[in-house]
Amino acid sequence: MSICAEKIALIDYGAGNLHSVYNALKAAGAHSVEVTHDAHYIAAADRIILPGVGAFGACKDALFAIDGMIDALEQSVRGGAIPFLGICVGMQLLADTGVEHGMHKGLGWIKGNVRAFDPSETIKIPHMGWNEIRLSKHHPLAGNGLLLSGEAYFLHGYKFDALDESDIIARTHHGGTVTAAVGKDNILGVQFHPEKSQHYGISFLARFLQWRP
């Protein structure tokens, strides 16, 4: 199926920078992008994107509260191997748990947990601004060129600790090593904001639209 014919679902659950992500997808070459909370549409989409801005627990509650949403995601992403992209908190929700403002369960698609940065007088929290992306050479997605080395824009106060090193496909540095991207099979998550990352972000989204896991 060509990119022109694909139905791309950008999930609206009240917790994402939807307008900017929508515009970035259009700039990257997407033709049919639907901003939606309709579980039936999402279940039938060819690609699914979950943005996220805010606290882990609030985002999780909002997503899980939409009637039929989790079943639709499980059916399409886990059952149907539809390409999936989580952005910022959308990536963090892939984890088993998050501890922002209490302990919360995530989707559990990528084993790990989301925790606060270690306290430090030398770094600013939240982590905000441009940072270099450094690839893990051992992950097939890196080898296929889905992510390239470069600089991307970050804005987050919590970080994803993956339990399995093979699920980490890129890292950055902010007071220590920070996971910049995780991936498993047809599931991809990025801590940075492609929609704020100018040429790097548009190029990344263009590659995601062409990705055939």
Enzyme catalytic residues: 88, 193, 195
Angle at 28 between CA 26 and CA 29, to 5 degrees: 70
Q: Which residue has the tokens 């139905």?
A: 7
Nearest by Cα to 198 from 155, 135, 156, 151 = 151
Is the distance from CB of 180 to CB of 192 less than 8 angstroms? yes
Peptide bond into 213 cis (omega under 30): no
- CA dihedral angle for residue 34, residue 10, residue 28, residue 173, rounded to 10 degrees: 170
